[in-house]
Amino acid sequence: MTTVETPMGYGSMRRKEDARFIRGRGTYVDDVTLPGMLYGAVLRSPFAHARIVSIDTKAAEAHPKVRAVITGAILDGLKLAWMPTLSYDTQAVLATDKVRFQGQEVAFVVAEDRYAARDALELIDVEYEPLPAVVDARRALDPDAPVIRDDKDGKTDNHIFDWSSGDKDATDRVFSEAEVVVTQDVLYPRVHPAPLETCGAIADFDKVTGKLTIWCNTQAPHAHRTVYAMVAGLPEHKIRIISPDIGGGFGNKVGIYPGYVCAVVGSIVTGRPVKWMEDRSENLMSTSFARDYHMRGEIAATRDGKIRAVRVSVIADHGAFNGTAQPTKFPAGFFHVFTGSYDLEAAHCAVTGVYTNKAPGGVAYACSFRVTEAAYLIERMVDVLAYELGTDPAALRMRNLLRPEQFPYPSPTGWEYDSGDYPRALALAMDIAGYDDLRAEQAAQRERWAAGEVGGTLMGVGISFFTEAVGAGPRKHMDILGLGMADGAELRVHPTGKAVLRISVQSQGQGHETTYAQIVAEELGISPDDIEVVHGDTDQTPFGLGTYGSRSTPVSGAATAVVARKVRERARIVAGAMLEVSPEDLEWEKGRWFVRGDPDQGRTITEIALAAHSSLELPEGVEGHLDATTVYNPPNLTFPFGAYICVVDVDPGTGRVKVRRFVAVDDCGVRINPMIVEGQVHGGLADGIGMALMELIAFDPDGNCLGASFMDYLLPTSMECPSWELGATVTPSPHHPIGAKGVGESATVGSPAAVVNAVLDALKPFGVRHADMPLTPAAVWRAIQGAPLRTDLAIG
Partner 1 sequence: MQVPAHFEYERATSVDHALALLARWGGEARVVAGGHSLIPMMKLRLARPEALIDINDLTELSYLRLAGDELLLGAMTRHADLLASPLVGEHYPILHDAERVIADPIVRNRGTIGGSLCQADPSEDLSAAFAAIDAVAVIRGPSGARTVPVREFHTGPYETVVGPDELLTEIRVPIRPGGGSAYEKVERRVGDWAVAAAGAAIWLDGESAGGAGQPGIVRDVGIGLTAVGASHFHAAEAEASLRGAPATEENFAEAGRLAGAHCEPAADQRGPVDYKRHLASELTVRALRRAAARARGQEA
Helices 674-693 and 746-762, packing angle to 10 deg: 40
Smallest gap from Cβ 122 to partner 1, in A, equals 8
Under the criterion CB under 8 A, does residue 614 sit at the interface with partner 1? Answer: no
Among 408, 474, 777, 788, binds partner 1 (CB under 8 A): 777
Determine the distance from the C-alpha atom of residue 668 to the mean position of all C-alpha atoms in its chain, rounded to a whole number: 16
Under the criterion CB under 8 A, does residue 786 sit at the interface with partner 1? Answer: no
CA 172, CA 91: separation in Å to the nearest integer? Answer: 38
Closest CA to 75 of 272, 287, 274, 269: 269
Under the criterion CB under 8 A, does residue 613 sit at the interface with partner 1? Answer: no
Under the criterion CB under 8 A, does residue 37 sit at the interface with partner 1? Answer: no
In the bound state with partner 1, the residue whose beta carbon lies nearer, of 187 and 232, is 187
Return the DSSP state at 378.
H
How many residues sit in the footprint of partner 1 (CB under 8 A)? 38
In the bound state with partner 1, the residue whose beta carbon lies nearer, of 395 and 794, is 794
Q: What is the DSSP string of 63-89?
A: STTEEEEEEHHHHHHTT-SEEE-TTS-
Report phi then psi at 585, rounded to 5.
-90, 10
Stretch that binds partner 1, among 70-78, 246-254, 648-656, 756-764 (CB under 8 A): 648-656
Smallest gap from Cβ 277 to partner 1, in A, equals 6
Contact flags string 670-699 toward partner 1, x per CB under 8 A: -----------------------xx-x-x-
Under the criterion CB under 8 A, does residue 565 sit at the interface with partner 1? Answer: no
In the bound state with partner 1, the residue whose beta carbon lies nearer, of 238 and 658, is 658
Contact flags string 444-483 toward partner 1, x per CB under 8 A: -----------x----------------------------
DSSP reduced 3-state for 781: helix
Smallest gap from Cβ 404 to partner 1, in A, equals 41
Among 12, 37, 76, 114, binds partner 1 (CB under 8 A): 114
CA 123, CA 262: separation in Å to the nearest integer? Answer: 19
CA 512, CA 742: separation in Å to the nearest integer? Answer: 12
Smallest gap from Cβ 288 to partner 1, in A, equals 20
Under the criterion CB under 8 A, does residue 65 sit at the interface with partner 1? Answer: no
Under the criterion CB under 8 A, does residue 751 sit at the interface with partner 1? Answer: no
In DSSP terms, 188 is beta-bridged to: 293
Q: What is the DSSP string of 212-263?
A: EEEEE--S-HHHHHHHHHHHH---GGGEEEE----S--TTTTSS--HHHHHH
Under the criterion CB under 8 A, does residue 88 sit at the interface with partner 1? Answer: no
Stretch that binds partner 1, among 55-63, 204-212, 759-767, 787-795 (CB under 8 A): 787-795
Among 219, 267, 281, 731, binds partner 1 (CB under 8 A): 281
Closest CA to 32 of 254, 274, 222: 274
Closest CA to 688 of 349, 312, 381, 250: 250
CA 682, CA 747: separation in Å to the nearest integer? Answer: 8
Q: What is the DSSP string of 551-574?
A: -IIIIIIHHHHHHHHHHHHHHHHH
In the bound state with partner 1, the residue whose beta carbon lies nearer, of 209 and 718, is 718
In the bound state with partner 1, the residue whose beta carbon lies nearer, of 475 and 660, is 660
Burial of 347 (0-12, 13-18, 19+ CB in 10 A): buried
Smallest gap from Cβ 771 to partner 1, in A, equals 14
Under the criterion CB under 8 A, does residue 655 sit at the interface with partner 1? Answer: yes
In the bound state with partner 1, the residue whose beta carbon lies nearer, of 53 and 711, is 711
Smallest gap from Cβ 382 to partner 1, in A, equals 28
Asked if residue 48 lies in contact with residue 703, where contact means CB atoms within 8 angstroms, the answer is yes
What one-letter code names the amino acid at 8? M
Under the criterion CB under 8 A, does residue 406 sit at the interface with partner 1? Answer: no
Smallest gap from Cβ 172 to partner 1, in A, equals 39
CA 236, CA 524: separation in Å to the nearest integer? Answer: 35
Smallest gap from Cβ 774 to partner 1, in A, equals 8
Closest CA to 170 of 434, 356, 346: 346
Closest CA to 703 of 190, 121, 81: 190
Asked if residue 671 lies in contact with residue 6, where contact means CB atoms within 8 angstroms, the answer is no
Smallest gap from Cβ 56 to partner 1, in A, equals 20
Smallest gap from Cβ 18 to partner 1, in A, equals 23
In the bound state with partner 1, the residue whose beta carbon lies nearer, of 606 and 704, is 704
In the bound state with partner 1, the residue whose beta carbon lies nearer, of 613 and 782, is 782
Residues that bind partner 1 (CB under 8 A): 30, 114-115, 118-119, 277, 279-281, 455, 653-656, 693-694, 696, 698, 706-707, 709, 711-712, 714, 716-717, 719-720, 776-778, 781-782, 785, 789, 794-796
